[in-house]
Amino acid sequence: MTLKEQLQHKIDLKTKPVGALGTLEQLALQIGLIQDTLTPSLNNPSLLVFAADHGLSDEGVSPYPKDVTWQMVMNFVAGGAAINVFCRQNNINLKVVDAGVDYDFPAGIPVVNAKVAKGSRNMRREPAMTADECRAAIQKGRDLVTAEASKGCNVIGFGEMGIGNTSASSLLMHRFLNIPIEECIGAGTGSQGEHFTRKTSILKEVSEKYNPQTPEETLAVFGGLEIAMMAGAMLEAADRNMIVLVDGFIASAAALSAVNIQPEARQKMIFCHSSDERGHQMMLDGMQADPVLHLNLRLGEGTGAALAYPLVQAAVNFLNEMASFEDAGVSNKE
């Protein structure tokens, strides 16, 4: 029997009807395959939040000013954001990474300095990143995951903060999945009415301006520093057979970028929730992803990944600890 067949046999012989634990059974099978074992374990869970600014925000694609990015990073540092609450609740090690915030953080605060530039460029005028900047961001993401893996972490989630990053994510989704740009654009941080119409018009203009040929070029032209760094982090985690917990719309755009660069990375990814951001479910469908949660979230920060983690734990625990029919002396069906 292959490992997949052995895992499925082990799952099916637990004291329950076949398939009765639903998505948890799919997660148990996936995690066993990622770790290449019948007895998987989750060690030192970590969550990295990548923050960066976007030059396109100068065009008014978000109702919030750019300063909100660095102000929210300070909120993360102070422990006051939703992601802090959920990581504390579930004993997940949280790190905040400055991938490209247009601000000089005070020395000594617990922010990982991986700044490639003070924000991406305004892609209405030029590509968001040069090829070198995009490569540097991808590599820094890889290096950060290498550091987490060296501490015994084998399950890692990713979140983000960056005013304007739903616009970048919509453009990446449009290009990678060949979905009309209008169907990829949502409210983000609250675009409505005339503001939403303007956002749509600008993103359509940006989309028509460029014609990148490779996944890396597409990421450089339309992405952001935090999205590129997250994509690199996901690629490294996948290479190391770590469990990759993918959050919402922006994290999924990073995952989509990573999968286009390296398709086999997809098998290591658990998609944690279907966001309320318009287009996210289509993006998940494009990656054949069945999300764990449907909670109408649209916050980002990695919150969906942190909230889904107890269910990932439950999947591993039932696989390892639940009795089989034979163990329990319970009659199985004929």
C-alpha closest to that of 269 among 245, 240, 300: 245
Contacts for 232 with CB less than 8 Å, ≥ 6 apart = 137, 138, 139, 140, 141, 142, 258
Length of the chain: 334
Q: Which of 133, 226, 236, 301 is catalytic?
A: 301
Question: Is 301 among the catalytic positions?
Answer: yes
CB 214 within 8 A of CB 135: no
Catalytic residues: 301
